[in-house]
A and B are shown apart, each in its own frame.
Chain A
């Protein structure tokens, strides 16, 4: 076993894993709670970086790279363009403090109950490990199944992306001619 040849390798792996989990959770908290939207976008970026680390630990380096490429590189940058073209900062507190506490408490209660319920369901579910693996889950296996089993979905998603690009252009232009 070569991993044990270097001292503290297991602790290093555990440390990087804890770092990935903490990054994901902290990014999600920033994205959900920050007052200024641009900080929320930055929190989403941090969250996606941590998520890429988690994908790596789930033995999918391909998805880790795709997460960074698509989310951090494309989705968050596009949202930042949207932030620059509008004025999305949360408006000053117009609601009464009583209402703010009431609605904040209610939504906190709802999300806590969802968190508790889903976690309980996940942890106490009777999950069974598979008897054997059919493929090794490598990038080559992903490519083969994308072009054989899932070729129809692959073509459909390219069509969806094309329609989305055209629709985005049309909708954005319509707003311009009206104003």
Chain B
């Protein structure tokens, strides 16, 4: 394998993106607190962004489309984090806990 053209091979980026997705899903299953699950969700966002950017760099005729798409993903992730954290803080005020096992009551 030619070492100098390592960064020109789409396979490496795609495998790293698949690894990020797998790590995010593992964290989403195994974490027992809401903030831990939020971090795992961010890993899944990162996997999607890296995958889109790789396909954009190597397979798309217009390199701008993927960059705009990933920029929108980042904006949506920021909005999602703001909403999720305010929900988590509201839940913590009511339950004094953010373990997903304790949040078993519903109203309505």
What residues of chain A have their CB less than 8 Å away from a CB belonging to chain B? 10-11, 13-14, 17-18, 21, 24-25, 28-29, 31-33, 37, 40-41, 44, 47-48, 51, 54-55, 57-60, 62-63, 66-67, 70-71, 74-75, 78-79, 81-83, 85-91, 103-104, 107-108, 110-112, 114-115, 118-119, 122-123, 127-137, 141-142, 145-146, 150, 153, 157, 160-161, 164-165, 167-169, 171-172, 174-176, 178-179
A selection of 16 A-B contacts at a CB cut-off of 8 Å is A28-B23, A31-B42, A44-B43, A51-B50, A70-B75, A71-B42, A82-B85, A111-B26, A118-B22, A123-B11, A130-B60, A153-B72, A157-B72, A169-B86, A172-B90, A175-B90
Q: When A14-B6, A157-B75 are in contact, do A179 and B63 touch as well, CB less than 8 Å? A: no
Residues of B within 8 A of A176 (CB): 93
CB of A21, distance to nearest CB on chain B (Å)? 6
Taking CB atoms and an 8 Å cut-off, the chain B residues in 59-108 that contact chain A are 59-65, 67-68, 70-72, 74-83, 85-94, 97-99
What number of B residues sit within 8 Å (CB to CB) of A?
80
Q: When A40-B39, A70-B78 are in contact, do A14 and B4 touch as well, CB less than 8 Å? A: yes
Q: Are B83 and A164 in contact (CB under 8 A)?
A: yes
Residues of A within 8 A of B25 (CB): 107, 110-111, 114
CB of B69, distance to nearest CB on chain A (Å)? 9
Interface majority SS on B: helix, strand, loop or mixed?
Answer: helix
Q: Are A107 and B74 in contact (CB under 8 A)?
A: no
Interface majority SS on A: helix, strand, loop or mixed?
Answer: helix
Residues of A within 8 A of B29 (CB): 103, 107, 110-111
Chain A residue with the shortest CB-CB distance to B38: A79
Q: Which 3 pairs show the lowest CB-CB distances between chains A and B?
A: A175-B90, A137-B63, A10-B4
Q: Are A37 and B35 in contact (CB under 8 A)?
A: yes
Looking at the complex, which one of A17, A118, A160 makes contact with B76 (CB distance below 8 Å)? A160
Chain B residue with the shortest CB-CB distance to A56: B7
Q: Are A107 and B26 in contact (CB under 8 A)?
A: yes
Q: Are B16 and A54 in contact (CB under 8 A)?
A: yes
Q: Are B83 and A167 in contact (CB under 8 A)?
A: yes
